[in-house]
Amino acid sequence: MSGVAGNCWSMSEHTDHLELAHKIAAELGEPKKTYEELVTFLKSAPADKLSEYSLEFVKNIQINIRFAPVIERQDAEQPFLTKSPQKIYETTQFDFDVLFTITSAEFVGLMNLFPPPLEDVLKSEFELPLPFKGLEIPKDDQRILTKKIREFYFDGSADALKQYVDLLSDINFGYEIDKTVKTHAAKSNGRTFYAVFSMDSKLNVLKRQNPEVANVPGASHYDEVHYLFRFKSAQSLYDDVLSNMEDEGSKISLKLIDNITHLFTNFAKYGDLFDKNDSIQIRPVQGDNVHYLDLNNYGFTTGLNPKKETFDFLADIERQAISVNSLKQRDEL
């Protein structure tokens, strides 16, 4: 849930946490000169002030997290991560079952992270970032690739807002999740399952916090958790469901609670998403055949290779980006 290590925001390409910590101390009015002074300060600094620096924000159209994990040196004290996730996949064989999940409209409830206005993105001179790490793309090539992305996602129809949500969702979540699902299935001796949550009912809390996008169909990042667990912060919504149980929206919400609970508890207990006597079964991912389960307002449906056309397009853009990056590096040599 909530993305994979390959997502552009999930790891920092710069090991600058020490520099960032000094910057925070200075901004809080207590600049420190030594490492020891800095550690002492961080242990006693106001937690509410420090937490402000861990917030996610959107730069252009990509999520950025200030304190993202980094690849540590082999000689670091109790290192947590000394190889990139890609290297780990290349050198490690897995033998456990795994369930990857995504929501159908990941970014719709995250629009309050202040992505650029839609009208700015539609401008021909607006440059979209590419969701690929470690690449330096020459300006002219960046504009060419940006134009291709814009033309792919925006077709001039009245659904521009939904298309913008799709772009933000794919760039920040979907594309890398799709790649990781395939990679994990190829490297694992266990089974790899994939589920898409597209439910849209009374408990889609995050999406409904922003009236401007409340009518965009599908489930936002984090929406599905409100069906899996009971949140005190959303108690009034649960009360509404339970006090109006004959309402169609309440019936759908209660059924969704049953379905998602059944799904996760079955996987946690047995490594399968369904009981043998359930009317529906789902095959694990095999190679590039991404069998997936869709949990929606009508129950469960199954499919193959979600958003294949979109992810094939982004894979082609990535190949072009790698190509021009390699040419730039060769020219610099």
Residue 167 near residue 159, CB atoms below 8 Å: no
Residue 35 near residue 28, CB atoms below 8 Å: no
Domain assignment present for residue 239? The answer is: yes
- pTM for this prediction: 0.90
List Cα–Cα distances, 226 to 234, 254, 263, 297, in angstroms. Answer: 8, 11, 15, 15
297 contact partners, CB below 8 Å, separation of at least 6: 199, 200, 201, 252, 256
Provide the pLDDT for residue 333: 46
The pairing of strands 56-59 and 62-65 is antiparallel
Domain containing 252 — which CATH number?
3.40.50.1820
Q: Which of 6, 5, 8 is nearest to 63 (CA)?
A: 8
Give the residue numbers spanning the domain of 158. 83-332
Residue 332 reports pLDDT greater than 70? no
pLDDT, tens only, 222-244 = 999 999 999 999 999 999 999 99
Provide the pLDDT for residue 184: 94
Cα–Cα distance, 267 to 288 (Å, whole number): 23
Domain assignment present for residue 2? The answer is: no
Which is higher by pLDDT, 174 or 279?
Answer: 174
List Cα–Cα distances, 259 to 83, 108, 207, 273, in angstroms. Answer: 38, 23, 20, 10
Q: How confident is the model at residue 159 (pLDDT cuts 50, 70, 90)?
A: very high
pLDDT, tens only, 258-276 = 999 999 999 999 999 998 8
pLDDT, tens only, 3-24 = 999 898 888 776 667 888 898 8
Domain assignment present for residue 57? The answer is: no
**Is the sign of the CA dihedral 138, 87, 287, 277 positive or negative?**
negative
pLDDT, tens only, 117-133 = 999 999 988 988 888 88
Domain assignment present for residue 41? The answer is: no
**Is the sign of the CA dihedral 136, 140, 142, 148 positive or negative?**
negative
| Average pLDDT, rounded, for the chain | 90
Domain assignment present for residue 260? The answer is: yes
Chain-centre distance of CA 329, in angstroms?
A: 30
Report the domain count for the chain. Answer: 1
Domain assignment present for residue 61? The answer is: no
Domain assignment present for residue 78? The answer is: no
- Per-residue buried b or exposed e for 117-149, using 16+ beta carbons within 10 Å of the residue's own CB: eeeebbeeeebbebbbeeeebeeebbbebbeeb
Q: How confident is the model at residue 56 (pLDDT cuts 50, 70, 90)?
A: confident
pLDDT, tens only, 185-213 = 999 999 999 999 999 999 999 888 888 89
Domain assignment present for residue 303? The answer is: yes
CA angle 168, 264, 111 (to 5 degrees): 20
